[in-house]
Amino acid sequence: MTDRLPASMAGAVDLSGLAARHARPAASQQPAPVDGAAAPQAGVGVIVDVGDADFAQIVELSRTVPVVIDIWAEWCGPCKQLTPILERLVTAYAGRIVLAKVDADQNPQLVQAFQAQSIPTVAAVIGGRPAALFTGAIPEAQVADVLEQVLAFAAQEGVTGRLPVGDAGDEPQEPVEPPLPPLHQEAHDALDRGDLVAAIDAYERAIVANPRDGEAVAGLANVRLLERLQGTTADGIREAAAAAPDDVAAQMLVADLDVSGGHVEDAFARLLDLVAATAGEQRQDVRLRLVDLFEIVGADDARVAAARRRLTTLLY
Protein backbone atom coordinates (compact mmCIF):
# COMPACT_ATOMS: atom_id res chain seq x y z
CA MET A 1 0.00 0.00 0.00
CA THR A 2 1.05 3.57 -0.40
CA ASP A 3 2.08 5.94 2.36
CA ARG A 4 -1.49 7.30 2.36
CA LEU A 5 -2.62 4.09 4.04
CA PRO A 6 -4.00 4.77 7.55
CA ALA A 7 -1.78 3.59 10.39
CA SER A 8 -4.25 0.85 11.38
CA MET A 9 -3.95 -0.60 7.87
CA ALA A 10 -0.15 -0.76 7.83
CA GLY A 11 1.73 -3.99 7.27
CA ALA A 12 1.19 -4.81 3.61
CA VAL A 13 1.87 -8.36 2.47
CA ASP A 14 2.49 -9.72 -1.00
CA LEU A 15 -0.12 -12.17 -2.33
CA SER A 16 0.76 -11.81 -5.97
CA GLY A 17 2.49 -15.17 -6.10
CA LEU A 18 -0.40 -17.01 -4.52
CA ALA A 19 -2.94 -15.30 -6.75
CA ALA A 20 -0.87 -16.07 -9.84
CA ARG A 21 -0.63 -19.75 -8.98
CA HIS A 22 -4.40 -20.08 -8.93
CA ALA A 23 -5.41 -17.45 -11.49
CA ARG A 24 -7.83 -18.56 -14.18
CA PRO A 25 -6.34 -18.32 -17.70
CA ALA A 26 -8.84 -15.71 -18.82
CA ALA A 27 -8.63 -13.57 -15.70
CA SER A 28 -6.06 -11.17 -17.14
CA GLN A 29 -8.33 -10.58 -20.15
CA GLN A 30 -11.38 -9.52 -18.15
CA PRO A 31 -12.26 -5.85 -18.74
CA ALA A 32 -11.84 -3.44 -15.86
CA PRO A 33 -14.99 -1.84 -14.39
CA VAL A 34 -15.85 1.54 -15.83
CA ASP A 35 -16.74 4.62 -13.75
CA GLY A 36 -16.79 2.67 -10.50
CA ALA A 37 -19.58 0.37 -11.64
CA ALA A 38 -19.51 -3.14 -10.25
CA ALA A 39 -18.17 -5.68 -12.72
CA PRO A 40 -20.26 -8.84 -13.13
CA GLN A 41 -19.27 -11.41 -10.53
CA ALA A 42 -21.26 -14.58 -10.97
CA GLY A 43 -22.09 -16.22 -7.67
CA VAL A 44 -20.31 -13.61 -5.55
CA GLY A 45 -22.21 -12.25 -2.56
CA VAL A 46 -21.15 -9.75 0.06
CA ILE A 47 -20.10 -12.62 2.38
CA VAL A 48 -18.19 -15.51 0.82
CA ASP A 49 -16.04 -18.44 1.89
CA VAL A 50 -12.75 -18.57 -0.01
CA GLY A 51 -9.72 -20.81 -0.05
CA ASP A 52 -6.26 -21.19 -1.49
CA ALA A 53 -7.55 -22.43 -4.85
CA ASP A 54 -10.01 -19.62 -5.61
CA PHE A 55 -8.31 -16.61 -4.06
CA ALA A 56 -7.38 -15.18 -7.46
CA GLN A 57 -11.07 -14.36 -7.95
CA ILE A 58 -11.04 -12.33 -4.74
CA VAL A 59 -7.96 -10.41 -5.87
CA GLU A 60 -9.74 -9.62 -9.12
CA LEU A 61 -12.94 -8.64 -7.31
CA SER A 62 -10.95 -6.23 -5.11
CA ARG A 63 -10.36 -4.06 -8.17
CA THR A 64 -14.09 -3.30 -8.12
CA VAL A 65 -14.98 -3.35 -4.41
CA PRO A 66 -12.78 -3.53 -1.30
CA VAL A 67 -12.55 -7.03 0.19
CA VAL A 68 -12.09 -7.65 3.91
CA ILE A 69 -10.42 -10.98 4.74
CA ASP A 70 -11.41 -12.80 7.95
CA ILE A 71 -9.00 -15.64 8.79
CA TRP A 72 -10.72 -17.85 11.37
CA ALA A 73 -10.96 -21.43 12.65
CA GLU A 74 -13.80 -23.50 14.05
CA TRP A 75 -12.05 -24.02 17.39
CA CYS A 76 -11.13 -20.32 17.83
CA GLY A 77 -13.22 -18.68 20.55
CA PRO A 78 -12.40 -15.05 19.71
CA CYS A 79 -13.30 -15.81 16.07
CA LYS A 80 -16.82 -16.71 17.19
CA GLN A 81 -17.11 -13.28 18.78
CA LEU A 82 -15.63 -11.33 15.86
CA THR A 83 -17.01 -13.01 12.73
CA PRO A 84 -20.70 -12.22 13.45
CA ILE A 85 -19.75 -8.56 13.97
CA LEU A 86 -17.94 -8.47 10.63
CA GLU A 87 -20.85 -10.20 8.87
CA ARG A 88 -23.40 -7.79 10.34
CA LEU A 89 -21.43 -4.65 9.50
CA VAL A 90 -20.45 -5.76 5.98
CA THR A 91 -24.05 -6.70 5.19
CA ALA A 92 -25.15 -3.22 6.25
CA TYR A 93 -22.86 -1.69 3.59
CA ALA A 94 -25.11 -3.26 0.93
CA GLY A 95 -22.46 -4.31 -1.55
CA ARG A 96 -19.83 -1.61 -0.95
CA ILE A 97 -17.59 -4.11 0.91
CA VAL A 98 -17.17 -7.87 0.53
CA LEU A 99 -16.25 -10.13 3.43
CA ALA A 100 -14.14 -13.14 2.40
CA LYS A 101 -13.88 -15.77 5.16
CA VAL A 102 -10.81 -18.04 5.18
CA ASP A 103 -10.75 -21.22 7.28
CA ALA A 104 -7.18 -21.26 8.62
CA ASP A 105 -7.13 -25.03 9.09
CA GLN A 106 -8.08 -25.67 5.45
CA ASN A 107 -6.04 -22.97 3.71
CA PRO A 108 -2.42 -22.90 4.91
CA GLN A 109 -1.17 -20.98 1.88
CA LEU A 110 -3.41 -18.02 2.63
CA VAL A 111 -2.50 -18.15 6.32
CA GLN A 112 1.16 -17.95 5.35
CA ALA A 113 0.59 -15.31 2.69
CA PHE A 114 -1.20 -13.01 5.14
CA GLN A 115 1.46 -13.73 7.79
CA ALA A 116 -1.32 -14.71 10.20
CA GLN A 117 0.60 -15.61 13.33
CA SER A 118 -2.58 -15.71 15.40
CA ILE A 119 -6.28 -15.78 14.69
CA PRO A 120 -8.59 -14.16 14.11
CA THR A 121 -6.53 -12.11 11.65
CA VAL A 122 -8.35 -9.50 9.58
CA ALA A 123 -6.88 -7.92 6.45
CA ALA A 124 -8.06 -6.05 3.35
CA VAL A 125 -7.43 -6.40 -0.36
CA ILE A 126 -8.01 -3.20 -2.35
CA GLY A 127 -7.22 -2.86 -6.03
CA GLY A 128 -5.41 -6.19 -5.94
CA ARG A 129 -3.13 -5.06 -3.11
CA PRO A 130 -3.44 -6.49 0.40
CA ALA A 131 -2.78 -4.93 3.80
CA ALA A 132 -3.08 -6.11 7.39
CA LEU A 133 -5.86 -4.56 9.49
CA PHE A 134 -5.90 -6.11 12.98
CA THR A 135 -5.68 -9.35 14.94
CA GLY A 136 -7.88 -10.63 17.75
CA ALA A 137 -11.47 -9.83 18.67
CA ILE A 138 -12.17 -6.12 19.10
CA PRO A 139 -15.41 -4.27 19.96
CA GLU A 140 -17.94 -3.60 17.21
CA ALA A 141 -17.41 0.16 17.33
CA GLN A 142 -13.71 -0.31 16.56
CA VAL A 143 -14.48 -2.76 13.75
CA ALA A 144 -16.86 -0.17 12.25
CA ASP A 145 -14.11 2.46 12.39
CA VAL A 146 -11.70 0.14 10.57
CA LEU A 147 -14.25 -0.57 7.82
CA GLU A 148 -14.78 3.15 7.33
CA GLN A 149 -11.02 3.56 6.91
CA VAL A 150 -11.04 0.72 4.36
CA LEU A 151 -13.74 2.50 2.35
CA ALA A 152 -11.91 5.84 2.59
CA PHE A 153 -8.67 4.36 1.34
CA ALA A 154 -10.49 2.43 -1.40
CA ALA A 155 -12.01 5.69 -2.61
CA GLN A 156 -8.53 7.23 -2.80
CA GLU A 157 -7.46 4.30 -4.96
CA GLY A 158 -10.52 4.59 -7.23
CA VAL A 159 -12.11 1.36 -5.96
CA THR A 160 -15.69 2.59 -5.54
CA GLY A 161 -17.82 -0.16 -7.09
CA ARG A 162 -20.81 -1.79 -5.50
CA LEU A 163 -22.04 -5.35 -5.89
CA PRO A 164 -25.75 -5.72 -6.67
CA VAL A 165 -27.65 -6.97 -3.64
CA GLY A 166 -31.30 -7.55 -2.97
CA ASP A 167 -32.35 -7.36 -6.63
CA ALA A 168 -32.28 -11.02 -7.56
CA GLY A 169 -35.68 -12.18 -6.42
CA ASP A 170 -35.06 -15.76 -7.53
CA GLU A 171 -31.99 -16.21 -5.35
CA PRO A 172 -32.49 -18.22 -2.16
CA GLN A 173 -32.67 -16.08 0.95
CA GLU A 174 -30.49 -16.68 3.96
CA PRO A 175 -32.46 -18.36 6.75
CA VAL A 176 -33.38 -16.07 9.61
CA GLU A 177 -31.57 -17.10 12.76
CA PRO A 178 -33.71 -17.50 15.88
CA PRO A 179 -33.16 -14.82 18.53
CA LEU A 180 -30.64 -15.53 21.24
CA PRO A 181 -31.81 -16.28 24.78
CA PRO A 182 -32.06 -13.00 26.71
CA LEU A 183 -28.94 -13.49 28.83
CA HIS A 184 -26.92 -14.62 25.80
CA GLN A 185 -28.05 -11.51 23.95
CA GLU A 186 -27.09 -9.41 26.96
CA ALA A 187 -23.61 -10.95 26.87
CA HIS A 188 -23.25 -10.33 23.11
CA ASP A 189 -24.38 -6.72 23.52
CA ALA A 190 -21.83 -6.24 26.28
CA LEU A 191 -19.08 -7.66 24.08
CA ASP A 192 -20.07 -5.31 21.28
CA ARG A 193 -19.54 -2.45 23.75
CA GLY A 194 -16.22 -3.92 24.85
CA ASP A 195 -17.59 -4.50 28.37
CA LEU A 196 -16.05 -7.87 29.29
CA VAL A 197 -17.15 -7.66 32.94
CA ALA A 198 -20.81 -7.30 31.96
CA ALA A 199 -20.50 -10.15 29.45
CA ILE A 200 -19.03 -12.43 32.11
CA ASP A 201 -21.83 -11.50 34.51
CA ALA A 202 -24.51 -12.29 31.90
CA TYR A 203 -23.02 -15.68 31.06
CA GLU A 204 -22.62 -16.55 34.75
CA ARG A 205 -26.29 -15.76 35.36
CA ALA A 206 -27.24 -17.90 32.36
CA ILE A 207 -25.31 -20.84 33.82
CA VAL A 208 -26.93 -20.39 37.23
CA ALA A 209 -30.32 -20.50 35.51
CA ASN A 210 -29.35 -23.58 33.46
CA PRO A 211 -26.14 -25.38 34.48
CA ARG A 212 -26.39 -27.48 31.28
CA ASP A 213 -26.26 -24.45 29.00
CA GLY A 214 -23.20 -25.50 27.01
CA GLU A 215 -23.17 -22.35 24.88
CA ALA A 216 -23.10 -20.17 27.98
CA VAL A 217 -20.27 -22.25 29.48
CA ALA A 218 -18.23 -21.93 26.28
CA GLY A 219 -19.07 -18.23 25.98
CA LEU A 220 -17.96 -17.60 29.55
CA ALA A 221 -14.68 -19.41 28.94
CA ASN A 222 -14.04 -17.31 25.83
CA VAL A 223 -14.73 -14.01 27.54
CA ARG A 224 -12.61 -14.94 30.54
CA LEU A 225 -9.76 -15.63 28.13
CA LEU A 226 -10.21 -12.20 26.55
CA GLU A 227 -10.25 -10.61 30.01
CA ARG A 228 -7.03 -12.35 31.06
CA LEU A 229 -5.24 -11.19 27.91
CA GLN A 230 -6.65 -7.65 27.98
CA GLY A 231 -3.93 -5.02 28.30
CA THR A 232 -1.10 -7.50 27.72
CA THR A 233 1.34 -8.07 24.88
CA ALA A 234 2.54 -11.40 23.50
CA ASP A 235 6.19 -10.46 24.06
CA GLY A 236 5.48 -9.34 27.61
CA ILE A 237 3.66 -12.56 28.48
CA ARG A 238 6.40 -14.78 27.07
CA GLU A 239 9.22 -12.78 28.64
CA ALA A 240 7.57 -12.92 32.07
CA ALA A 241 7.10 -16.69 31.81
CA ALA A 242 10.68 -17.22 30.65
CA ALA A 243 11.99 -15.13 33.56
CA ALA A 244 9.91 -17.08 36.11
CA PRO A 245 9.56 -20.71 35.01
CA ASP A 246 8.14 -21.68 38.42
CA ASP A 247 5.45 -18.98 38.35
CA VAL A 248 2.29 -20.99 37.69
CA ALA A 249 0.18 -17.93 36.86
CA ALA A 250 2.72 -16.72 34.30
CA GLN A 251 2.85 -20.16 32.65
CA MET A 252 -0.94 -20.36 32.50
CA LEU A 253 -1.08 -16.98 30.80
CA VAL A 254 1.27 -18.26 28.09
CA ALA A 255 -1.17 -21.14 27.55
CA ASP A 256 -3.98 -18.59 27.17
CA LEU A 257 -1.90 -16.73 24.60
CA ASP A 258 -1.14 -19.94 22.70
CA VAL A 259 -4.82 -20.90 22.47
CA SER A 260 -5.76 -17.41 21.29
CA GLY A 261 -3.10 -17.70 18.58
CA GLY A 262 -4.08 -21.21 17.48
CA HIS A 263 -1.18 -23.06 19.14
CA VAL A 264 -3.53 -25.45 20.93
CA GLU A 265 -1.16 -28.40 21.35
CA ASP A 266 1.51 -26.14 22.88
CA ALA A 267 -1.00 -24.70 25.35
CA PHE A 268 -2.29 -28.11 26.43
CA ALA A 269 1.23 -29.57 26.75
CA ARG A 270 2.35 -26.65 28.92
CA LEU A 271 -0.60 -26.98 31.28
CA LEU A 272 -0.43 -30.77 31.47
CA ASP A 273 3.24 -30.50 32.43
CA LEU A 274 2.18 -28.01 35.11
CA VAL A 275 -0.40 -30.46 36.44
CA ALA A 276 2.35 -33.06 36.74
CA ALA A 277 4.66 -30.59 38.52
CA THR A 278 2.20 -29.06 41.00
CA ALA A 279 0.02 -30.15 43.90
CA GLY A 280 -2.84 -28.91 46.04
CA GLU A 281 -4.46 -25.59 45.14
CA GLN A 282 -1.96 -24.84 42.39
CA ARG A 283 -2.75 -28.12 40.65
CA GLN A 284 -6.47 -27.39 40.97
CA ASP A 285 -5.99 -23.93 39.43
CA VAL A 286 -4.15 -25.45 36.46
CA ARG A 287 -6.79 -28.15 36.04
CA LEU A 288 -9.57 -25.56 35.97
CA ARG A 289 -7.66 -23.48 33.41
CA LEU A 290 -7.36 -26.58 31.23
CA VAL A 291 -11.09 -27.19 31.51
CA ASP A 292 -11.75 -23.60 30.43
CA LEU A 293 -9.48 -24.01 27.41
CA PHE A 294 -11.17 -27.33 26.54
CA GLU A 295 -14.47 -25.41 26.34
CA ILE A 296 -12.92 -22.80 24.03
CA VAL A 297 -11.41 -25.32 21.64
CA GLY A 298 -14.49 -27.58 21.70
CA ALA A 299 -15.28 -30.95 23.21
CA ASP A 300 -15.35 -32.67 19.79
CA ASP A 301 -11.79 -31.60 18.93
CA ALA A 302 -9.32 -34.51 18.84
CA ARG A 303 -6.71 -32.42 20.66
CA VAL A 304 -9.11 -31.92 23.56
CA ALA A 305 -9.84 -35.64 23.75
CA ALA A 306 -6.13 -36.48 23.84
CA ALA A 307 -5.44 -33.85 26.51
CA ARG A 308 -8.36 -35.09 28.63
CA ARG A 309 -6.95 -38.61 28.54
CA ARG A 310 -3.54 -37.44 29.72
CA LEU A 311 -5.11 -35.23 32.40
CA THR A 312 -7.07 -38.20 33.75
CA THR A 313 -3.87 -40.25 33.88
CA LEU A 314 -2.05 -37.49 35.78
CA LEU A 315 -4.83 -36.96 38.30
CA TYR A 316 -5.81 -40.54 38.95
Active site residues: 76, 79
Going by C-alpha positions, the residue among 126, 129, 68 that lies closest to residue 102 is 68
CA dihedral 206, 212, 215, 220 (to 10 degrees): 60
Which residues, 6+ apart, have CB-to-CB distance to 145 below 8 Å?
none
CA dihedral 184, 185, 191, 192 (to 10 degrees): 160
The CA distance from 100 to 67, in Å, is 7
Task: Classify residue 33 as left (phi > 0), alpha (psi -120 to 50) or beta.
Answer: beta
Cα distances from 12 to residues 7, 82, 108, 235, in angstroms, run 11, 22, 18, 22
Angle between helices 182-193 and 214-229 (to 10 degrees): 20
Going by C-alpha positions, the residue among 289, 297, 269, 304 that lies closest to residue 73 is 297
Alpha-carbon radius of gyration of the chain: 22
CA angle 179, 184, 188 (to 5 degrees): 95
- Are the beta carbons of 184 and 206 closer than 8 angstroms? yes
Query: Residue 131 pairs with which residues in a beta bridge?
Result: 124
> What DSSP letter does each residue of 138-149 carry, written as one string?
--HHHHHHHHHH
- Are the beta carbons of 45 and 19 closer than 8 angstroms? no
Q: Which one-letter amino acid corresponds to residue 277? A: A
